[in-house]
Amino acid sequence: MRVFVAGLVHESSEFSPIPTSRRSFKLFEYHRPENGVPDDTARELNGYGTFIRLAEKDGHEVYASTYTFAQPSAPCSRSGYESLRNEILEDLLNNEPFDMVFMFLHGSQMADGYDDCEGDLLRRVRDIVGPSTFIGGELDLHTNMTDTMINSANVLIACKEYPHIDFDERAVELYEIGFKFAKGEIDPQMSFERLPLVGMYYTTEPAMQAANSAVRDLEKQTNILSASLIHGFPWANVPHLSAGMLVVRDGQKQSDEEQIKEAQKLFFAAREETRSIRKSCSDILDIIEAADDDHGPFVIADACDNAGGGAGSDSTFILQEILNRGLTGFVVGLFWDPIAVQFAEDVEVGGKLKIRLAGKTGPWAGAPIDVDAKVIAVKKEMTQQGLGYTHPIGTAAAFEIDGNIAVASTVRGQVFNPSCFTDLGIDLQAACGIVVKSSQHFFANFAPIASQVLYCDTPAMMTLDPDPSVFTEVARPMWPFDDVKV
Amino acid sequence: MAGTLFFSSLMTETNSFSNIPTGYGDFEAEGIKRGNEIFYDADEIAYQEVEPILAFAEERSLKPIGGIAASAAPGAPVQHQDYLQLKEELIGSLQAADKVEAVFLTLHGAMMSTECDDCEGDILKGVRAVVGPMVPVGVVLDPHAHLTDEMIRHADLMAFMKEYPHTDGIERSQEILSLMGRLLDDKIKPIAAVYDCHLMGFFPTQESPMRDFVDRMFWAEQADEILSISFVHGFPWGDMQDAGAKLLVYSDDNPVAGQTLAEKLGRNIWSIKDETMPPLISIEEAIEKTIACEHGPVILSDIADNPGGGAPSDATHILEAIISSSYIEPDLTNIAIGLIYDPEAVKACHKVGPGGYLDLRLGGKISQFSGSPLDLEIDVRAVRKNARMDFMGITDFPMGDTAWVHTRGIDIVLSSVREQMYAPSGFSHIGIDPSQKRALIVKSSNHFRAAFEEISKDIFYVSTAGAIDFDFARLPYKKLNKPFYPAVQDPFSNAL
């Protein structure tokens, strides 16, 4: 059989101060195998690589089109999105027919003129391949689902975990369903049950673990091919902003609807969980100040200033509070501040300077901080491992400020890995607190070294208490703006 | 084998009070040239500023050898290791040159490193050690310099540009090269005389009384025994013991005539010291003048934020005041400001492209002297890549990628390279017609005058908080020990 594979991934936040263009994708992750012939690099890429390997193993002919992904930021420019979309569509058109199409997507991608890029892309793919080709889309659970997406693809599957550690497992499931469809063995039908929620839901917490467990049990039903909890993506003022549950049944056969409703109820019941574990900066610092002297490092997630959600990653609320209180022993990073890094390179390690640090991307960043700093480390071409990817950091510089350490980088990205700090020679075990700009993806690598993990709420972009008056397009009632029952 | 004429240039103006570190990368950012690329561009056409050097070489049948030509935007003292690396390149290329018969250098005069207060003296010492006492060493420098004994000892002839804005680099080069020719022919014996004015000041030369003073220097140079006269303005923001205004006279083997003239001209400067600095106006007055303007534009010099003096070029005090006042003053519109150094804002504008809208945080990012960043709703009018600012057809300056954004009747030009607004092309290169504006705010203390005066003569200097403090008595010197005016009313008094 003939299989087409592509990837176009961007989580678009309308609140992000960082514009997006085609170049944003090319600078971050862009791979386009020559003439569509899969190469070793392509086979290792998240999700997309799995489709290729499985298809090759089954002896299919594979056309590997563009795979590209940009750091979450504002909706892409029109020309940027269209050029990336069109190169995939042209590959499809010029090399058809195909029996199966597998797309690795996000689910809340937007662009200038496009509220629903995945719907736009999937619809056009369907127009090209016709009704009998399998179209499968793998999504991030932070999807804002639309009817166009559901009506254009045969099967959509979202990852189940946040942090997203299961893209490859879900890709295997999607491939197997696709192959069965192509052999005429199944007739997948999708339905999406909307749950009017705006929020974030870590699947490492107990109530969400229960919801996920119920969804896995659902999938054991013979006539349910797949079930995904769709978390939604809060930072988009669009009518289809919502959470929900996506079920893929085999044809019109019977399934246990009660069990499906139970799983939805468990998800709904978990809606406050993530928000409720966040504490104010003041409360967190009180906890740390009151702790015994011989505690290991606290890890504090600066969850609202996460580049992984489109934030500027340069807010100063927590560092400012630490300095105001005269606390020492904190390590804070990664601040996106290329100018500060440039100055650190100029004065070199050991050099002292008065520096204006961070607070530069916009109102969500708070005010810049003016401090006397000493440069304690500078390193070029740094990277970190996280979620199966190698993430670029660019050049990073560590500044000692009043007994604390602040780390700035030239590439905007969240902290996935303690190596961001240890690669600069920073001793994390000796720290009193480690503040990481990440909502959740830091968890896997930091929890083992933390005496306690605390999630901090600040007025940065990804606050879970957004101002309802900003969401003019969103369908109401919507939790948490309104009381909602399910 | 024919003899050679060695030429190199190494320049930066060091502001001891600046927070903007200066390293090798800052020299690379402006493009370091080596060897023949110092003289000829990619099309093998000679650069205008080196034509006097090439002409002199040809006249004397010398082969011109280029060592290194490097400059960096003014900032804090150069990281010492980076200074040593650049000096090594210069001295190394001199050592590698064969049969050097004359050395010509263009230096700044106020370059400092984190460990060396007198880089020009240090460089000249290194040059002299290579060529020995018989080879003429001639130098042209910026008048905003610190004149030191070390420089005088090791150079044969130095000319500091007479004009500020510095429009006379070529003429001073011709003058020094001509004197070097006479020295090579053993026709003259230059002897330096220095008079210390004990003065920190600011001395633009377009208007009287400084204009008359410059004319006086030219006139006095006509005397046979006087070879060259320079008024060293000094650079008040360099904290070193030799800082301050001075008079330098080279006589032809006549030290008494030289010293007498130096003192006479020095006293002349002293007598006009309170008239050389243009009056400063407040931001409020600047706004009033803008509103009152009938046929503009009014040109407002943002002197405290001039990158040419080591300031960040992203201070927002004036812009912020104009924006807030614009809500109640409808005539506070049709204004342009530039160049604001904000590389990330420029990148954002390039991404959205012309016609795009942005909520943009702009300016106020580089240092504690920058004021607060401004959160503005802007539309992007135009963007340019690798833009250059043409200066009166003589030369051009790099601005990096630039962007023109508009908010509330105000046009703002953003740059990716920290560069002062030398010329109207800083606005016009991207589509703004500066002559049609009600007011232009230029981040430049004085160099803008030569080109902007063609548009308007209504020029005012605005006093604001910022990195370059013009109240010299207040500057926190640590190394300058001698008494100087205005910190002391009578620094020559014997009682001191």
DSSP per residue over B412-424, as a string?
EEEESS-----ST
The pTM for the full model equals 0.75
Beta carbons of B321 and B283 less than 8 angstroms apart: yes
| pLDDT, position A486 | 76
pLDDT of chain A along its 486 residues, tens only?
A: 999 999 999 999 999 988 999 999 998 889 999 999 999 999 999 899 999 999 999 999 999 999 999 999 999 999 999 999 999 999 999 999 999 999 999 999 999 999 999 999 999 999 999 999 999 999 999 999 999 999 999 999 999 999 888 999 999 999 999 999 999 999 999 999 999 999 999 998 999 999 999 999 999 998 999 999 999 999 999 999 999 999 999 987 778 889 999 999 999 999 999 999 999 999 999 999 999 877 789 999 999 999 998 999 999 999 999 999 999 999 999 999 999 999 999 888 999 999 999 999 999 999 999 999 999 999 999 999 987 778 999 999 999 999 999 999 999 999 999 999 999 999 999 999 999 999 999 998 999 999 999 999 999 999 888 888 989 999 999 999 999 987
Q: Which residues of B touch A (CB under 8 A)?
A: 19-23, 25-26, 76, 79, 81, 343-344, 348, 350-353, 356, 358-361, 364-368, 370, 372-373, 375
| pLDDT, position A417 | 96
Residues on chain A touching B19 (C-beta within 8 angstroms): 353-356
Rg (CA), chain A: 23
Are A23 and B351 an interchain contact pair (Cβ–Cβ within 8 Å)?
Answer: yes
Q: Which residues of A touch B (CB under 8 A)?
A: 17-21, 23-24, 77, 79, 338-339, 342-343, 345-348, 351, 353-356, 359-363, 365, 367-368, 370
* Residue entry with tokens 């039908």: A189
- Which one, of A86, A80, A93, A168, lies nearest residue A130 by Cα? A93
Are A345 and B23 an interchain contact pair (Cβ–Cβ within 8 Å)?
Answer: yes
* Residues linked to residue B336 through DSSP beta bridges, in sequence order: B411, B440
- Concatenating the DSSP letter of every residue in A374-435 gives EEEEEEEEEEEEETTEEEEEEEEEEEEETTEEEEEESS------THHHHTTT--STT-SEEE
**CA–CA distance, B476 with A403 (Å, rounded to integer):** 27
Are A18 and B26 an interchain contact pair (Cβ–Cβ within 8 Å)?
Answer: no
| pLDDT, position B496 | 44
Task: Name the strands in the sheet holding B4-11, side by side, starting at the edge strand that comes first in the sequence.
Answer: B33-34, B63-71, B4-11, B100-107, B137-141, B157-160
Task: Name the strands in the sheet holding B226-232, side by side, starting at the edge strand that comes first in the sequence.
Answer: B190-196, B246-252, B226-232
Residues on chain B touching A364 (C-beta within 8 angstroms): none
| pLDDT, position A424 | 97
Nearest chain B alpha carbon to A355: B367
Beta carbons of A318 and A300 less than 8 angstroms apart: yes
Q: Could you say which of B20, B351, B367 has the minimum Cβ distance to residue A20?
A: B351
Are B358 and A23 an interchain contact pair (Cβ–Cβ within 8 Å)?
Answer: no
Residues on chain A touching B364 (C-beta within 8 angstroms): 368
Which amino acid would we find at residue B388?
R
Residues on chain B touching A18 (C-beta within 8 angstroms): 348
Residues on chain B touching A338 (C-beta within 8 angstroms): 343-344
Are A19 and B366 an interchain contact pair (Cβ–Cβ within 8 Å)?
Answer: no
CB proximity list for A100: less than 8 A, separation 6 or greater: A1, A2, A3, A4, A55, A60, A133, A134, A136, A178, A179, A181, A182
Are B23 and A346 an interchain contact pair (Cβ–Cβ within 8 Å)?
Answer: yes
Residues on chain B touching A20 (C-beta within 8 angstroms): 351
- Which one, of A128, A109, A129, lies nearest residue A119 by Cα? A109
| pLDDT, position B427 | 98
Nearest chain A alpha carbon to B359: A17
Residues on chain B touching A21 (C-beta within 8 angstroms): 350-353
Residues on chain A touching B358 (C-beta within 8 angstroms): 19
Nearest chain A alpha carbon to B367: A356
| pLDDT, position B494 | 60
Residues on chain A touching B416 (C-beta within 8 angstroms): none
- How close A236 comes to chain B (CA, Å)? 16
Residues on chain A touching B370 (C-beta within 8 angstroms): 356
> Tokens at residue B180, please?
């070097």
Q: Could you say which of B343, B353, B366 has the minimum Cβ distance to residue A356?
A: B366
How far, in Å, are A20, A151, A406, B161, B192 from residue A241 at the CA level? 21, 18, 36, 66, 80
Q: Which of A18, A77, A315, A356 to mutate to test the interface with B (most CBs of B within 10 A)?
A: A356
Q: What is the ipTM of this complex?
A: 0.71
- Listed as ranges, residues in chain B with pLDDT below 50 are 496
Are A345 and B373 an interchain contact pair (Cβ–Cβ within 8 Å)?
Answer: no
Residues on chain A touching B360 (C-beta within 8 angstroms): 17, 362
3-class DSSP assignment, residue A77: coil
* Residues linked to residue B485 through DSSP beta bridges, in sequence order: B199
Q: Could you say which of B79, B358, B368 has the minimum Cβ distance to residue A346?
A: B79
Nearest chain B alpha carbon to A371: B368
Are A77 and B372 an interchain contact pair (Cβ–Cβ within 8 Å)?
Answer: no
Q: Could you say which of A346, A362, A367 has the minimum Cβ distance to residue B25?
A: A346
* Residues linked to residue A188 through DSSP beta bridges, in sequence order: A250
CB proximity list for A292: less than 8 A, separation 6 or greater: none
- How close A405 comes to chain B (CA, Å)? 19
- How close A340 comes to chain B (CA, Å)? 8
Nearest chain A alpha carbon to B349: A19
Nearest chain A alpha carbon to B418: A339
Are B356 and A23 an interchain contact pair (Cβ–Cβ within 8 Å)?
Answer: no
Q: Which of B340, B365, B383, B414 to mutate to test the interface with A (most CBs of A within 10 A)?
A: B365
| pLDDT, position B59 | 96
Are B359 and A17 an interchain contact pair (Cβ–Cβ within 8 Å)?
Answer: yes
* Residues linked to residue A20 through DSSP beta bridges, in sequence order: A76
- How close A88 comes to chain B (CA, Å)? 22
3-class DSSP assignment, residue A26: helix
Beta carbons of B302 and B443 less than 8 angstroms apart: yes
Nearest chain B alpha carbon to A358: B365
| pLDDT, position A46 | 87
